[in-house]
Chains A and B, each alone.
Chain A
Amino acid sequence: MITPIKALRKNRFKTALIFMSMSVSIAAIFLISAISGGVVSMYSAMLKTDGDIIVTQKGIADTFFSDINRSMVDNIAQIEGVREAGALILGAAPVEPLPIVGIYGVSENRFKSYTLTQGSTPKNGEVILGSKIYETLKHPKTIILSKQKFVVSGVFKSRIGFEDGGVVMNLHDGGVLFHKSASIFLVSLDDLAKSDRVVKKINTLNPDIEAKTTDSFIDSYNQFKIIKTSSDVIGAMAFLMGILGIVSMMSMVVNDRKTEFGIMRSIGLSSWVIIKKLLAETLIIALVAFSFALALSLGVLELIEHADKFQGYINGEITVSLVVNVFVVSVVMAMLGTLLPAIYAARIDPMTLIQRGGA
């Protein structure tokens, strides 16, 4: 291990360039995966709160466009095995000076999901604010939504960024604001094992609604698939860019060190020894770059999380499985990027050394 480190120190400038190229690629993969994972995870957590089953308008692509009759929630609540059913309106609107804020109209029984740190639950014409937006707006007494003034009746704290940076009002006001009865129903059960039976019963109530277990809804939710696919594509591009960066830099390194590899070939070291040597050098850079990129990504995510500009909506999530996956990707990136230049190095003809010296 000492020899590769010495070789890297000898070629400091190019080592630094490879390190930077790998760090940027790995950090990009970390960040895009963490941010997309965070968005999915936050929205999933929000839906899962008091919701074992989710009911939406049938065939709708996005919960924001869903419109269902809130009166059905009482029928659902009567179904055997249902502990509680609540309606929720999901919307978004500008709140001066913020261009877009998540607005949630919720039925009375759902207010208990919001832990108030001050004030009381909202009555008509009132709202409660997440602690993040409350701070961003500098402790407002009232806010304007679609030209209507609402009194801030309380502040709640939520670990879910979409809620902590959002505005919650009662279902009536939400309905008036967004011209709909309800977006979704969240149904909690006494016994999760009976979820399939309850889902079937709900689906027979009205042909315009569609019930799914929350897990099944999350798995099939189009928006999540789009976010995940976009994240995978951008991650793959960062991976390819990383490989191309390594290939080009390692090709320059091999060219600079032709004599060294020619000597190794002339003294009988096998091609595999030379390939292993170069792979070991890049692996060392990859390990350092991975650690650096992880620290950098954690720092950037921390900054984003606390940046007022993002209203707490972007909460990157670096899980253990993400760390393990990106580590594997980093090693594969280093190995793939080094392989071609290493094979070229292993084929350097020692004759070139002799021809430099004599006739």
Chain B
Amino acid sequence: MRIQAKNIEHYYGIEHVLRGVDISIEAGSFTAIIGESGSGKTTLLSILSTLLNPTSGEVTFDEKAISELGNIDVFRRHNIGFVFQFHYLISYLTLRENIALSALDEDSVESLMESLGIGRLAARYSDEVSGGERQRAAIARALVNRPAVVFADEPTGNLDTKNALGVYELFKHFSQEGTGFVVASHDKKIADYADTIIEMEDGKIVKILKR
């Protein structure tokens, strides 16, 4: 899948947060969007992931506009995964139940949890595991339907360095298996893992570095 954003402009009230952004993301790539707080990277991520409609400009998925994708919930469930800065696991569900919440095929949950190193924690609740394990469960939830692209917004913001690097390793590993990752972060270490690094400043892309 190819995601393209063309001439994206976005305002929050009178605040101009994105200024004519053009970007193209391929499935299976690992793209990092870096920049300071307020640079517009989270807004761009939200627009690319269909959660937010831009003030102007167009986002297409394989040349199809969002309006042509049919039911956006169904499209999102099949094609897009999310990882947030906070794990946002549902506290009254076990890790397995959290991951299976949107699963199209529940049989894949166990093997996915094993591959993320949290298989033994399937029956635990989110307050019974560490921060790193919680974030791994959140990543598993994003990957459970094998989406074309996973969007992650500051996914290591609440993790220590060791766990943060572990998350990047996982992203790298799954991107090599064909899932695209678009990660917004102000952590410079992500540059060591990403194929493409997009640097943003004041709502504009100021640099694109491809490896």
- Chain A residue numbers with a CB within 8 Å of B170 are none
**Interface: A149 (CB within 8 A):** no
Which segment of A81-89, A137-145, A174-182, A256-264 sits at the interface?
A256-264
Are B51 and A268 closer than 8 Å at their CB atoms?
A: no
Are A357 and B84 closer than 8 Å at their CB atoms?
A: yes
Are B73 and A270 closer than 8 Å at their CB atoms?
A: yes
**Interface: A358 (CB within 8 A):** yes
Instruction: Pick the contact of A269: B38, B101, B153, B154 (CB < 8 A).
Output: B101
Q: Say whether, besides A351-B51, A359-B40, A266 and B92 are in contact (CB < 8 Å).
A: no
- Chain B residue numbers with a CB within 8 Å of A7 are 92
Q: How far is the CA of A263 from the CA of B81 in the complex (A)?
A: 11
Instruction: Pick the contact of B153: A10, A262, A354 (CB < 8 A).
Output: A354
Are B86 and A356 closer than 8 Å at their CB atoms?
A: yes
Are A269 and B102 closer than 8 Å at their CB atoms?
A: yes
Are B38 and A359 closer than 8 Å at their CB atoms?
A: yes
Instruction: Pick the contact of A358: B52, B85, B90, B141 (CB < 8 A).
Output: B85
Q: Which of B51, B52, B97, B145 has the most CB of A within 10 A?
A: B51
- Chain B residue numbers with a CB within 8 Å of A262 are 88
Are A10 and B101 closer than 8 Å at their CB atoms?
A: no
Are B74 and A358 closer than 8 Å at their CB atoms?
A: no
Q: Say whether, besides A267-B82, A351-B46, A358-B154, A10 and B92 are in contact (CB < 8 Å).
A: yes
**Interface: B206 (CB within 8 A):** no
Question: Within the complex, what minimum Cβ distance (angstroms) separates B76 from chain A?
Answer: 4
- Chain A residue numbers with a CB within 8 Å of B142 are 267
- Chain A residue numbers with a CB within 8 Å of B179 are none
- Chain A residue numbers with a CB within 8 Å of B40 are 359
Are A354 and B46 closer than 8 Å at their CB atoms?
A: yes
**Interface: A3 (CB within 8 A):** yes
Q: How far is the CA of A235 from the CA of B93 in the complex (A)?
A: 39
Q: Which residue of A lies closest to B52 (CB)?
A: A351
Contact indicator per residue, chain A 200-219, by CB within 8 Å of chain B (1) or not (0):
00000000000000000000
Q: Say whether, besides A260-B90, A351-B46, A358 and B77 are in contact (CB < 8 Å).
A: no
**Interface: A353 (CB within 8 A):** yes
Are B92 and A271 closer than 8 Å at their CB atoms?
A: no
**Interface: B19 (CB within 8 A):** no
**Interface: B2 (CB within 8 A):** no
Q: How far is the CA of A9 from the CA of B142 in the complex (A)?
A: 26
Contact indicator per residue, chain A 263-281, by CB within 8 Å of chain B (1) or not (0):
1111111110000000000
Are A354 and B73 closer than 8 Å at their CB atoms?
A: no
Q: How far is the CA of A125 from the CA of B98 in the complex (A)?
A: 83
**Interface: A159 (CB within 8 A):** no
Q: Which residue of A lies closest to B86 (CB)?
A: A357
Q: Say whether, besides A263-B90, A264-B101, A357 and B154 are in contact (CB < 8 Å).
A: yes
Are A353 and B101 closer than 8 Å at their CB atoms?
A: no
**Interface: B80 (CB within 8 A):** yes
Q: How far is the CA of A265 from the CA of B45 in the complex (A)?
A: 16
Are B74 and A266 closer than 8 Å at their CB atoms?
A: no
Given contacts A10-B91, A354-B42, 11 further A-B contacts (CB under 8 A): A10-B92, A263-B90, A268-B76, A268-B102, A353-B86, A353-B88, A357-B154, A358-B157, A358-B184, A359-B39, A359-B40
A-B contact pairs, 12 of them (CB 8 A): A3-B97, A6-B92, A6-B93, A9-B92, A10-B92, A264-B101, A266-B76, A270-B74, A271-B73, A354-B42, A356-B86, A358-B157
Per CB-CB distance, the 3 closest pairs between chain A and chain B, nearest first, are: A268-B77, A357-B85, A10-B92
